[in-house]
Amino acid sequence: MLKSKFFNDFSNVAQGAFSTINAIREELDVIVKSRLERLLVSKGLVTKEENDIILLQINDLNMKINDLEAKFDNQAKLINSLLNKNKKNKG
């Protein structure tokens, strides 16, 4: 019975210690992230998430530019063909 109580008490102490260590680790993570964020902002840098969003926006804009260039090329070809037809009809 004495051993059982001892192990129960030891288990409770160990569990409390692990909980405390886990809470300290979480608090340190928050502090490190906060300081890192302040450093990034002070240096004018962006986070990976912000960078990924910007890259997606750039890719989207590139696709739109390519579509507009293709439309422009089609319109230029249409105008040239109409001008050529007009020259043939006059000449």
Cα 44 to its chain centre, rounded Å, is 17
Q: Give one DSSP letter per residue of 2-19, joined into a string.
A: HHHHHHHHHHHHHHHHHH
CB 37 within 8 A of CB 46: no
Task: Enumerate the domain spans of the chain.
Answer: 1-45, 46-91
Supply the pLDDT for residue 1. Answer: 61
Supply the pLDDT for residue 77. Answer: 95
The pLDDT confidence band at residue 91, using thresholds 50, 70 and 90, is: low
The pLDDT confidence band at residue 79, using thresholds 50, 70 and 90, is: very high
pTM: 0.51
